[in-house]
Amino acid sequence: MPFDGIVTSSTTYGLSHKLTGGKIEKIYQPEADELIFLVHNGKFNHKLLISSSSSHARLHLITSSKSNPQNPMAFCMLLRKHIQNGKIQSICQKDSERIVEITIESFNEMGFPINKKLIIEIMGKHSNIILIDDSSNKIIDSIKRIHSDVNRYRQTLPGLQYVYPPVQGKISYFDLTEHMFNSLFGSSSSTSDKYDAFFNQDAAAKTLVASIQGISPVVAREMCVKASSISQLYSLLNSYVQKLLVGDFSPRVYLNESGAPIDFYCFNLYEASYLYKEVPFNDIQEAAEYFYDHKDSSNKMKQKSMDLFKAISSSLEKLYLKKQKLSQDLLQAEGSEIFKLFGELLTANMYVIPSKATEVLVVNYYNNEPVTIILDSRLSASQNAQRYFKKYAKSKIAIQEKTIQLEEASKDIIYLESVLTHIENASNYEDIEEIRQEVVDGGYMKKKKNAYKVSKVKLAPYAYTSPDDFRILVGRNNKENDVLTFKTASNKDIWLHTKDIPGSHVIIFTEGREVPESTIIMAASLAAYFSKARLSENVPVDYTQVRHVKKPAGAKPGMVIFVNNKTIYVNPYVVS
């Protein structure tokens, strides 16, 4: 519901006052359906986010930063060519629709000023961002190209004339008069009192949505609950319109019991304020940023890391099958001593075995028990003995090779399970990208053609301070675990890790002091929290001095061995 026509009007009003006359200094495209403009206007720098996402299409100012691909996408390059360094002439809404037009003055190859228009259509799965030439109304390009096989009425392809989406016979609330409003309900000023006596909230709400541009069902219901007659309903809608014209807004974000945002609006919603916690904002831009930054943040993280998660999960499934197969092969190969015995017994009884025999009964001289040996009738007794000796030798070699393969597969499983844990526990996109780089470096995944730039600023480990004033650091990923344990920590610091459970390295910096049990419990709880056992209870955590922790030659990132350790059982928690 957030971006209906009314929210679009309030957002456009704010953007127009802040960005008109500003210069577009930089253009980025962090996602396939998302743009960020850096606009300098007067003494202020602004970041304008424009999204054509099918689920969260919008435009508003933001204060946060986003990672960008190493190689700019095609639409981003086109916008940089046509409107970067251009001046924003105007930002306006098309009638009361969810369409915003940004007119930009730029210069052509000859140095003459020309106007381009960026049109943002906020229409659910049909949302789009389209750049057109203002003089000819021709499409230069769009972030989503729509072909005739998708929409026969309206294509968004370079060179075609831009056509607005169909209005469906609706009236803009900016153009609405009281007479027009009454006619929507089949009433007039002479009959309104009679009609008001039979005012039906549900029917009136449906009429508002079906007849007026930009009115969402939630707001239509809101107005009809507040009004008790058609005349009151018009007065309420007209008061909203007057507030939109002068910028008189009271933005609100509504949160559920767990603190997750449910909705936001530029005016107070009567029903929502009773159902949810209300958080007021001074500016609709701030409310929009708060809402979308906190809305489904975990789902966004999952989407961002989905390909990485799938790649690691797929590798793990293959390793699990490989380990199972190797274990079965080793179990079979462990019975290879019988082949050596058969070869020895055949050699000892070679001259009593008849030719072309398919089996022979001989006495095992180790325990004096009879043994039946299967023979190949095409081979002599000597050749049958050699065949069993070869089977024995082959099995011994197989045991050695498969044991090595089993050890390597087990190490890979332990490592990839730790990677999967770090992915699940990642708190931001930068964490995901660092883990992705680690996986690419390890050869478990190919680098994306349009990979995101790795942040120049190295992410620091999670830092905490115990009540006893001891500094505690927690690694974010396997590479950081290695740096933390073997480069940052000193030999007398305390190292902690969940026992036989994938997780982060945790270091207590002792600074020559004796570490009290309360600090060890806190650090152990952090180790449990930043592990695969985050949602468990009574988690075992090993701890020892850093000098007892070693990294074997050729070991994967984050993989260590340790001695002289103690184990403590704690419940996971993180200090806020």
Specify whether 314 is located in the same domain as 415: yes
29 falls within a domain: yes
pLDDT at 449: 58
Q: Classify residue 522: in a domain, yes or no.
A: yes
Final residue of a structural domain among 123, 142, 161? 142
Return contacts of 220-225, CB within 8 angstroms, 24+ apart: 221/271, 222/269, 222/270, 222/271, 225/201, 225/270, 225/271
User: What is the reported pLDDT for 1?
Assistant: 53
Last residue of some domain: 364, 397, 425? 425
Q: What is the pLDDT of residue 452?
A: 52
- Coil, strand, or helix at residue 223? helix
Three-class SS state of 426: coil
Same domain, 29 and 108: yes
Check which CATH number belongs to the domain holding 59 and give it.
2.30.310.10
The answer to whether the CB of 250 falls within 8 A of the CB of 280 is yes
Give the separation between CA 303 and CA 305, rounded to whole angstroms: 5
Beta bridge partners of 277: 255
The list of the chain residues with pLDDT below 50 reads 189-195, 455
End-to-end CA distance of the chain: 33
Whether 171 is covered by a domain: the verdict is no
**Does residue 97 lie in a domain region?**
yes
What is the distance between the alpha carbons of residues 46 and 16, in angstroms, rounded to a whole number?
A: 12
How far are the Cα atoms of 250, 491, 493, 525, 528 from residue 548, in angstroms, in the given order?
A: 60, 8, 10, 21, 21
- Are 9 and 138 found together in one domain? yes
Domain count, the chain: 4
Q: Are residues 245 and 339 in the same domain?
A: no
Asked if the structure places residue 283 within a domain, the reply is yes
CA distance 258 to 263: 14
Q: Give the C-alpha separation, 313 to 345, whole Å.
A: 50
The backbone torsions φ and ψ at residue 115, rounded to the nearest 5 degrees and listed phi first, read -105, 135
Bridge partner residues of 178 (DSSP) = none
CB 374 within 8 A of CB 346: no
Beta carbons within 8 Å of 401's beta carbon, 6+ residues apart: none
Is residue 452 assigned to a domain? Answer: no
The pLDDT assigned to 444 comes to 81
Please tell me the pTM assigned to this model: 0.63
Instruction: Answer yes or no: do 18 and 108 share one domain.
Output: yes
Do 330 and 276 have their domain in common?
no
Q: How far apart are CA 416 and CA 413, in angstroms?
A: 5
Q: pLDDT tens, 157-176?
A: 999 999 998 878 899 999 99
Structural domain range at position 390: 301-425
Cβ atoms of 252 and 279 closer than 8 Å:
yes
Residue-level pLDDT at 196 = 59
User: What local confidence, expressed as pLDDT, does residue 194 receive?
Assistant: 43
Whole-number Cα distances in Å, 325 to 16, 316, 330, 409: 66, 14, 9, 11
- Residue-wise pLDDT tens digits, 285-344: 999 999 988 775 555 666 677 878 888 888 899 999 999 988 888 877 777 778 888 888
Q: What is the CATH number of the domain that holds 398?
A: 1.10.287
Sheet arrangement for strand 277-280? 261-265, 252-255, 277-280
Q: Are 187 and 280 members of one domain?
A: yes
Of the candidates 140, 123, 122, the one whose C-alpha atom is nearest the C-alpha of residue 131 is 140
Q: Domain boundary at 271, 294, 317, which?
A: 294
Q: Are residues 19 and 133 in the same domain?
A: yes
- pLDDT, residue 299, reads 57
